[in-house]
Amino acid sequence: MFNWHPYNQFDWGNSAQTQFTPPEKNDFEQLAAKILWVPGVEMNDCWGTVHPPGRNAVVIRVHPHVRHRFERNGIRQVGLKIYNQVDGKVMWPSVSKFHAAQREKLPGLPNAHVQEVLDYGVIQDDHGTERGYLVQQWVEGVVLEELIKGDLTADEVLQIADDLFKEIIIPLWAKGSSWWDVRASNYVVTTDGRLIMIDSDSVGAYADEILQTPKVFAERNHGSITAMKRYATILVTMAGRLAVRGTKTIVQREVRALFVRHLQPVFVEPYPLPPGWEKSAGRAWQNFRAGYEALLQPPAVKPAPPK
């Protein structure tokens, strides 16, 4: 059986999706066990946790003590993503094509800061309905969206920003691989403070052009503009969380200005980036970080006037 508590606590009143009924929950438990080949004896214990759905799929965290058929590459704990019958049915053909024939060829992948996908496939449930699924490396940590709502230190923000650009965006985008689906909910900050991208399916929307006609993709790459605006929003939001009372608007405005001045030009140029892009991107990041770091420091305390 599953722990449905996080799923049940989701704000279903403001969601376009409908919460599963008890019979539907039971169907998903049976389907997950079928996909993973979980021994029947484990079905009586709590062996997975269901997380609230995104737009396309339900994500199940398989608990680390559970035996399953995907224990390889040193990865034991996995997440099972089962696509729903509405949006997932529409999206699944492109997702399956991407993971079957394109992901391993995409420039910049694999990347240690991008979640690994172990398997994909289609399976029928007990009612004869076909559902697509992905088995992914489970990344232990806190979703960036939730972390931003809580307490962040300046050091944590700087590490997140470093990983976001130096480990994920710059290495992949400079090779011609970019995507538009940039949301704080698509990243996890691990227990040791590193950032991991946990949803790369949207890269599949561009995979044909990236692999087959990279010049065409470079010329029409409108998605990079959307993505850069969203990256700026993530950074501005984090900076705003750290700003002291009365300076939030100032800090957010300055971070956005730094972003546009130093980082956006690196990525909105037509691909492939010109020779020496590494130096250009490196300088842009160093300049941005220097200005950003200064903004995140607590204001100097003025000495009390002499009595």
SS3 106: coil
Distances, alpha carbon 216 to alpha carbons 221, 269, 272, in Å: 8, 14, 11
Structure tokens at 190: 């691990």
pLDDT, tens digit (0-9, with 9 covering 90-100), for 216-225: 666 666 567 7
pLDDT, tens digit (0-9, with 9 covering 90-100), for 71-109: 665 666 788 888 776 655 667 777 888 888 888 888 878
Task: Name the band, by pLDDT with cuts 50, 70 and 90, for residue 44.
Answer: confident
**Which pLDDT score is estimated for 157?**
93
pLDDT, tens digit (0-9, with 9 covering 90-100), for 224-278: 777 888 899 999 999 988 887 778 899 999 999 999 999 888 777 655 566 777 7
* Domain boundaries along the sequence of the chain: 20-137, 141-295
Helices (H), the chain: 5-8, 22-36, 87-97, 144-149, 154-162, 170-173, 207-212, 214-220, 223-242, 248-258, 264-268, 277-295
| Cα 175 to Cα 173: distance, rounded to the nearest angstrom | 5
**Which pLDDT score is estimated for 267?**
76
Q: Angle at CA 100, nearest 5°, toward 97 and 106?
A: 90
Return the CATH class of domain 141-295: mainly alpha
Residue 103 contacts residue 179 (beta carbons within 8 Å): no
Phi and psi for 225 in degrees, rounded to 5?
-65, -45
Q: Is the pLDDT of residue 292 over 70?
A: yes
pLDDT, tens digit (0-9, with 9 covering 90-100), for 116-164: 888 888 888 778 878 888 888 888 888 898 899 888 889 999 999 999 9
**Which pLDDT score is estimated for 223?**
64
**Which pLDDT score is estimated for 54?**
62
Pick the CATH number of 20-137 from 1.20.140.10, 3.40.640.10, 2.60.120.620, 3.30.200.20: 3.30.200.20
